[in-house]
Amino acid sequence: MIGNLFDPKSDVLIYERLRPHWSQAGAIVFITFRTIDSLPKCVLQRWDREKDDWLRQRGLLGARHWSDAIKSLEDHVNAEFRRVFDRKRETCLDDCHGRCLLRDPRLARIVADSLMHFDGVRYRMGDFVIMPNHVHLLVAFARPDIMAAQLDSWMHYSAFQINRAIGDKGHFWQPEAFDHLVRTLEQYNYLRRYIAANPAKAHLKPGEYLYRRGP
């Protein structure tokens, strides 16, 4: 493996933006980031209502918004909530909404090169796939404080280079990535299979995605 499995007994760095992000020294993390136009506004609004309904049906919402309510959920309920809506997100991403510019091999290569640039120096890069409007990857950081800065670096650099290549400007990536520390060997192997199978699941042809199998 490229790193260690998450150890609940060891120190964890948690930082929050729109959602909490967990990082642990040497632990493998599964990360997804997506283009700014990858999820239509109408879909996000519908999910907001569905998240409220999911919590309300279980008596867990009260007068709060779902984003506040989940902060006080028990771990197993929080995990189920995220599992349900992560699945919805992944399915929608695979429908290839938005411009899907990363279908262009030249632009996908920009992202791949940025992911590999500091491999073996700041992090150990594992498997990744660059889909038309999102990226999945497995990576391990030597220090927990590196993850946030490195994510920002990957997205900032690749966005600048892609915008320059297409003669555009403005935001390219949705600012906040999704991340999950890998807990078990079974989960690690599942995620590797998921990354490899994602193009076929989205009915992509060779040349419409970029897949890299890690060590």
Using alpha carbons only, give the angle 107, 100, 114 rounded to the nearest 5 degrees. 30
CA distances to 170, 179, 190, 202 from 197, in Å: 31, 19, 10, 9
pLDDT at 15 over 80: no
For 83, 146, 179, 180, the CA distances from 79, given in Å and listed in that order, are: 6, 25, 13, 11
What's the mean pLDDT when you consider all of the chain?
A: 92
pTM of the model: 0.87
Strand ranges of the sheet holding 28-34, from the earlier edge strand across to the other edge: 178-181, 28-34, 134-141, 123-130, 210-212
Which pLDDT belongs to residue 129? 98
Partnered with residue 125 across adjacent β-strands are 139
Domain ranges of the chain: 13-38+99-212, 41-94
Per-residue pLDDT tens over the stretch 82-120: 888 888 888 889 888 999 999 999 999 999 999 999 999
Residue keyed to tokens 């997506």: 34
Return d(Cα 40, Cα 202) in angstroms, integer: 17
Report CA dihedral (91, 198, 149, 47) to the nearest 10 degrees. 0
Provide the pLDDT confidence category of residue 22 given band limits of 50, 70 and 90.
Answer: confident
| Residue 19: pLDDT over 70 | no
Q: Are 15 and 149 in contact (CB under 8 A)?
A: no
What is the dotted CATH code of the domain comprising 13-38+99-212? 3.30.70.1290
pLDDT band, residue 18 (cuts 50/70/90): low
Pull the structure tokens for residue 68: 């506040």
Q: Which of 181, 158, 148, 115 is nearest to 17 (CA)?
A: 148
Q: Please give the Cα distance from 59 to 102 (Å, whole number).
A: 42
Alpha helices in the chain, H assignment, sequence order: 41-57, 66-69, 75-94, 105-116, 146-166, 185-201
Provide the percentage of residues in the chain whose pLDDT is more than 90.
Answer: 66
CA distance 176 to 16: 10
